[in-house]
Amino acid sequence: MHTMRSIAVALPLLTNGVLAGLYPGLSADNHTCELSDPVLSCSEGAQPGIVDTCCVETFGGLVLATQYWNTYTGLESEGQVLPKDTWTIHGLWPDFCNGSYTQYCDLSRQYDPEPYPNTTTGTPDGTPVEPYNGPGIDKLIEPFGRWDLLAYMKKYWPGLNQPSHVLWAHEYSKHATCFSAFDTECYGPAYRAHEDAVDYFATAVSYYRRLPTWGWLAAGGVRPSNDTATRYSLSEIQGALAAGFLELPYVGCSGPRYNTTEAGRGSADDGYTILTEVWYYFHVFGRPQNAQALPVSANATGGRLSNCARMPGAIWYPERTEGSAV
């Protein structure tokens, strides 16, 4: 679901042809951030060489907290269900300040069993991202004893047609590795393997908890319904979300294009018609982990606000499948 943002050529520096952390040569010392000012990402001063890259986000300074609205998981029979009356976590993404992005920035932290795209650039000339086939990332972080975090992730971060831990590993390896503040050196000389993954998951959760998409929509009168008479306008959805978030997030739709549906036949509106995603954009003060974040509009860097149909009453916010949400 990244197709609306443009992919930039991967920037991580190459050392002997192997991708390493974002800033090779970075020492593991002195990154408690106690002595550093919470400089705002994407501001003039948020540059490596001026600030500690562990304490101010210098690589992926446009932070996206992304959420899904799915109507089933596909693995209900294995107990993977959706949480009732709430959207679910997709991930936390580091876009460049200009709105483009890269992915899989540190192949030494590749735990994604189904890498997508399968090269670092998304084009055949990029470095291949090999599928990981070891123990699930949930197993790798169990030794930290953060059972409450894992339980929260199981509930609010479910995969679609794949075990949830595959989605978590995908988000971690594809995106967390492109934040300067999640580089392993940032965790000090006593860094313990996968500590950054635990930190990334906890951080994604902390953003999610401040972004009650279901409640914001409901407060604006936008509720899931499979009644064919109940359809919403993009402007209603945007109005409801902006009343809560105070800026316009990106609203993503899937399903048929409006002008291929009966209601939209003959229309020039070829936007999609089923509400499925919301992406909240931020600049962040200091480490993204602090979640001291300044909402910015999704079009602030020239990006689109939505791929949904714009005709009034064109969008379906579907009810979840019976038994999928508990």
Ligand X SMILES: *[C@@H]1O[C@H](CO)[C@@H](O)[C@H](O)[C@H]1NC(C)=O
- Using CB under 6 A as the binding rule, whether residue 127 contacts ligand X is answered as no
- Using CB under 6 A as the binding rule, whether residue 230 contacts ligand X is answered as no
- Residue 192 C-beta: closest distance to ligand X, Å: 20
- Residue 146 C-beta: closest distance to ligand X, Å: 29
- Considering only residues 261-320, where is the footprint of ligand X by CB under 6 A? 268, 270, 297, 299-300, 305, 318-319
- Using CB under 6 A as the binding rule, whether residue 11 contacts ligand X is answered as yes
Q: Based on CB atoms, which residue is closest to ligand X, 31 or 109?
A: 31
Question: Site for ligand X (CB under 6 A): which residue of 86, 230, 290, 321?
Answer: 321
- Residue 150 C-beta: closest distance to ligand X, Å: 28
Interface stretch with ligand X, choices 15-23, 26-34, 154-162, 307-315 (CB under 6 A): 26-34
Catalytic residue flag (residue 34): no
Q: Which of 31, 165, 170, 175 is catalytic?
A: 175
Question: Site for ligand X (CB under 6 A): which residue of 128, 134, 143, 145?
Answer: 128
Question: Site for ligand X (CB under 6 A): which residue of 259, 289, 306, 307?
Answer: 259
- Using CB under 6 A as the binding rule, whether residue 118 contacts ligand X is answered as yes
Catalytic residue flag (residue 130): no
3-state secondary structure the chain: CCCCCCECCCCCCEECCEECCCCCCCCCCCCCCCCCCCCECCCCCCCECCECCCCCCCCCCEEEEEEECCCCCCCHHHCCCECCCCCEEEEEEEECCCCCECCCCCHHHCCCCCCCCCECCCCCCCCECCCCCCCCHHHHHHHHCCHHHHHHHHHHCCCCCCCHHHHHHHHHHHHHHHCHHHCHHHHCCCCCCCHHHHHHHHHHHHHHHCCCHHHHHHHCCCCCCCCCCCCECHHHHHHHHHHHHCCCCEEEEEEEEHHHCCCCCCCCCCCEEEEEEEEEEEEEECCHHHCCEEEECCCCCCCCCECECCCCCCEECCCCCCCCEC
- Considering only residues 58-117, where is the footprint of ligand X by CB under 6 A? 71-72, 96, 98, 100
Q: Which residues are catalytic?
A: 90, 171, 175
